[in-house]
């Protein structure tokens, strides 16, 4: 990929002391090591990689939602703050930032590609449906509401529908939308959009916004006991 997509994140990583910031936030060793490497060498992040890393944050929250569905079935509703915080990250980082970038910069261009207009229509409708589900989730996941079986059922339905929609949604964007977007742009325009994405991220979340968001998700996973990756490996 060469110098494609060297964004402001690389400069921030190279100059901003990310490793120290993450260590101070109590983030685990691997992330701090990665940040330290970025500080030393600088990191190239293309626009598509940027969007796909944000999908990684989304997927980790889908795992948190699954854990909450399990807890709701078992009527374990203490600590609902972790669910509200997760839905809040979906609202601010995915819906009001990531999806806005897709809607403003990718969808209008991809609509002009033969054969992909229908895909854009579906993706846009799914963003709208996702926002409705997140509003519902945020409205119900308060401790008082969770004492009612009917509310727990509605919350569980909302989480299930969100997970069911966003797994194929993100997978289709990763494998069809983002490659088509990359292919149709000149290198200069592609790089310039990477810069624009970074500017927006810094404006909304401050420097190292992505790393902060990953650290918040990691902290929620630890509170729920689902952070240890090895627990997902089959025993045999
Ligand atoms: Fe999307
Ligand atoms: Fe997306």
User: Domain range holding 215?
Assistant: 47-232
pLDDT of residue 10: 46
Is 39 within the bounds of a domain?
A: no
The alpha carbon of 99 and the centre of ligand 2 are apart by a number of angstroms equal to 6
Which range is least confidently modeled, 20-24, 92-96, 140-144, 166-170? 20-24
User: If you average pLDDT over residues 75-93, what whole number do you get?
Assistant: 95
Q: For the segment 109-129, what is each residue's pLDDT rounded down to a tens digit?
A: 999 988 999 999 999 999 999
Please tell me which residue, 7 or 236, carries the higher pLDDT value: 236
Q: Give whole-number Cα distances, 170 to 4, 52, 146, 201, in Å.
A: 23, 8, 29, 19
Is 26 within the bounds of a domain?
A: no
The alpha carbon of 68 and the centre of ligand 1 are apart by a number of angstroms equal to 23
pLDDT of 6 higher than 70: no
Question: What phi and psi, each to the nearest 5 degrees, are found at residue 45?
Answer: -125, 110
**Alpha helical stretches, state H, 74-186:** 81-89, 99-101, 107-110, 117-140, 149-172, 178-184
**C-alpha angle 218/219/225, rounded to 5°?**
85
The alpha carbon of 150 and the centre of ligand 2 are apart by a number of angstroms equal to 32
User: Contact 169/128 with Cβ under 8 angstroms?
Assistant: no
The alpha carbon of 171 and the centre of ligand 1 are apart by a number of angstroms equal to 10
Domain count along the chain = 1
Q: Give whole-number Cα distances, 117 to 79, 120, 132, 148, 176, in Å.
A: 43, 5, 23, 43, 12
Ligand with an atom nearest the CA of residue 124: 1
The alpha carbon of 30 and the centre of ligand 1 are apart by a number of angstroms equal to 28
The alpha carbon of 231 and the centre of ligand 2 are apart by a number of angstroms equal to 27
Share of the chain above pLDDT 70, in %: 81
Q: Is 61 exposed, middle or buried (0-12, 13-18, 19+ CB in 10 A)?
A: buried
The alpha carbon of 205 and the centre of ligand 2 are apart by a number of angstroms equal to 18
Ligand with an atom nearest the CA of residue 120: 1
Distance CA 204, CA 91 (A): 13
DSSP 3-18: TTT--HHHHHHHHS-H
Ligand with an atom nearest the CA of residue 103: 1
Please tell me which residue, 38 or 102, carries the higher pLDDT value: 102
The alpha carbon of 123 and the centre of ligand 1 are apart by a number of angstroms equal to 6
The alpha carbon of 36 and the centre of ligand 1 are apart by a number of angstroms equal to 31
Which range is least confidently modeled, 1-10, 49-58, 70-79, 211-220? 1-10
Other Cβ atoms less than 10 A from the Cβ of 120: the count is 20
Contacts of 3 (CB under 8 A, 6+ apart): 44
Is 57 within the bounds of a domain?
A: yes
pLDDT of residue 71: 95
Is 30 within the bounds of a domain?
A: no
Is 19 within the bounds of a domain?
A: no
In the structure, what pLDDT confidence band is assigned to residue 59 with cuts at 50, 70 and 90?
A: very high
Is 94 within the bounds of a domain?
A: yes
Which range is least confidently modeled, 40-44, 88-92, 155-159, 224-228? 40-44
Mean pLDDT of the chain: 86
Read off the tokens for 185. Answer: 């742009």
Angle at which helix 117-140 crosses helix 81-89, to 10 degrees, equals: 150
Is 15 within the bounds of a domain?
A: no
Please tell me which residue, 236 or 197, carries the higher pLDDT value: 197
In the structure, what pLDDT confidence band is assigned to residue 43 with cuts at 50, 70 and 90?
A: low
Ligand with an atom nearest the CA of residue 51: 2
The CATH number covering residue 197 comes to 1.20.120.520
The alpha carbon of 164 and the centre of ligand 1 are apart by a number of angstroms equal to 14
pLDDT of 216 higher than 90: yes
User: If you average pLDDT over residues 30-51, what whole number do you get?
Assistant: 64
pLDDT of 3 higher than 80: no
User: If you average pLDDT over residues 26-30, what whole number do you get?
Assistant: 52
Question: What phi and psi, each to the nearest 5 degrees, are found at residue 27?
Answer: -70, 155
Is 12 within the bounds of a domain?
A: no
The alpha carbon of 108 and the centre of ligand 2 are apart by a number of angstroms equal to 15
The alpha carbon of 84 and the centre of ligand 1 are apart by a number of angstroms equal to 21
Tokens 């060297």 identify what position? 6
pLDDT of 15 higher than 60: no
Read off the tokens for 145. Answer: 């509401």
Q: For the segment 130-154, what is each residue's pLDDT rounded down to a tens digit?
A: 999 999 999 999 888 888 999 999 9
Its sign, for the CA torsion 112, 113, 115, 119, is negative
């Amino acid at each position: 990929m060469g110098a494609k997509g060297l964004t402001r994140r690389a400069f921030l990583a190279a100059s901003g002391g990310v490793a120290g910031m993450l260590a101070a936030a109590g983030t685990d060793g691997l992330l701090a090591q990665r940040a330290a490497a970025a500080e030393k060498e600088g990191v190239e992040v293309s626009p598509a990689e940027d969007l796909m890393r944000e999908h990684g944050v989304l997927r980790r929250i889908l795992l948190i939602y699954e854990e909450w569905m399990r807890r709701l079935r078992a009527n374990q509703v203490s600590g609902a703050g972790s669910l509200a915080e997760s839905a809040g990250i979906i609202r601010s980082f995915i819906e009001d930032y990531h999806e806005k970038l897709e809607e403003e910069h990718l969808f209008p261009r991809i609509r002009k590609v033969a054969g992909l207009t229908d895909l854009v229509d579906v993706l846009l409708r799914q963003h709208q449906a996702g926002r409705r589900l997140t509003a519902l989730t945020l409205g119900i996941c308060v401790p008082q509401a969770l004492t009612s079986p009917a509310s727990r059922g509605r919350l569980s339905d909302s989480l299930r529908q969100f997970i069911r929609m966003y797994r194929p949604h993100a997978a289709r964007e990763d494998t069809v939308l983002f490659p088509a977007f990359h292919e149709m742009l000149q290198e200069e325009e592609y790089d310039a959009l990477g810069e624009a994405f970074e500017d927006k991220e810094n404006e909304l979340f401050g420097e190292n916004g992505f790393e902060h968001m990953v650290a918040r998700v990691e902290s929620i996973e630890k509170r729920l006991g689902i952070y240890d990756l090895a627990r997902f490996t089959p025993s045999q």
